[in-house]
Amino acid sequence: MANDTMVTLQGWLGGEPSGRDVGGVLVTHFRVACTPRRFNRQREEWVDGETQWYTVSAWRALADHCLRSLRKGDPVVVHGRLTHRSYVNKADTEVVALEVEAITVGHDLSRGCTEFRRTSPAQGFEPAAGAGAGASGAAA
């Protein structure tokens, strides 16, 4: 843990979060798009850079809270451990995927307002109820 690469992302949810049961533990996955903006002094205007996509995974209570709280298009701030994996896609091209195992996730309050609601352990994820694609088994 001492040598983990920690990152903080500021971006937008690219789709609805999806949750699933992994051995009785809820994990939620979602994609975050981060588009850097730079001021071009020659043109005197803001220019968008290339959008970078990150897959984020959240576990246990954080996973449940992400399912209940996040929606496609939401501005978010994610802090966690950066990992990468390589694989060969269908076009036979090697791809490097950047992934973040979230420690904290929240709405980006520089983009709007939100309301905090504390949950109790009794309101958490129940594996028997299942976690379908994009919805938790618990009522919001």
Averaged over successive runs of 10 residues, the pLDDT of the chain (140 residues) comes to 90 98 97 95 95 96 96 98 93 93 97 89 54 41
The two tokens of residue 19 are 């949750």
CA 131-132-137 angle, 5° bins: 40
pLDDT at position 4: 93
The two tokens of residue 10 are 């500021």
Q: In angstroms, rounded to a whole number, what is the distance separating the alpha carbons of residues 71 and 15?
A: 7
The ranges assigned to domains in the chain are: 5-37+44-120
Q: In angstroms, rounded to a whole number, what is the distance separating the alpha carbons of residues 75 and 96?
A: 25
Topology of domain 5-37+44-120, per CATH? OB fold (Dihydrolipoamide Acetyltransferase, E2P) (2.40.50)
